[in-house]
Amino acid sequence: MLDLVKAGGWLMLPIIVCSVIAVAIIAERLWSLRLRRVLPKHLVAQVWRWDKIHQLNDEHMRELQASSPLGSILAAGIVNRHQDRAVMKESIEDTGRHVVHELERYLNTLGTIAAITPLLGLLGTVIGMIKVFSTITTQGVGNPGALAGGISEALLTTAAGMSVAIPTLMFYRYFRGRVRMLVLRMEQEAMLMVEIMHGTRKSGGNNP
């Protein structure tokens, strides 16, 4: 493995650094975007029960806000539960924008890595071919070892860049889709709570 890195030239170093960062981001996002962490089951039903028995106090509000991203959105709406529906929805939307920003954390970095690693590999290809043509200019075509070294460097960096970019791009697209799904589910749960608080809908207690 070390021999391949050395053969690929100095551009292998930034490609390896990008791969380490990508793996760290992917692991962190897989953990942070778990469904049960973002959307705990029966959270709206729990809020409804607290409201029915008049236990929506500061302690429960802090507990709700710290429990999950959905909990922080619901807490923002509950604070304004005695206001009209429009005010309640506006506070939910304001908090929701911050929550979405947190859910999308590091995704731009992941997308950037997916974009630049093939370019780094291509740059390695160009540098390798420049070496090949320089060798041909100075030594002719009679030294196959020297020619093979430049071609090897070109091919290795290209392969390394693509090997990092392809899975990184796949996970980037997966996380973008997952965030959209989670945001949609949180919006549905928040609107359900608004309807329950204003007495237009009964709680079924089923938060998927």
pLDDT digits (tens, 9 = 90+) for 29-47: 999 999 999 998 888 888 8
- Kindly list the domain boundaries of the chain, sorted by start residue: 2-197
- Half-sphere exposure of residue 117, counting CA atoms within 13 Å on the CB side? 28
Q: Over 134-156, what HEC string results?
A: HHHHHHCCCCHHHHHHHHHHHHH
Amino acid symbol at 37 = R
For residue 9, count other CB atoms closer than 10 A to its CB.
20
User: pTM of this prediction?
Assistant: 0.81
Least reliable range by pLDDT among 48-57, 94-103, 114-123, 139-148 = 139-148
Length reported for the chain: 208
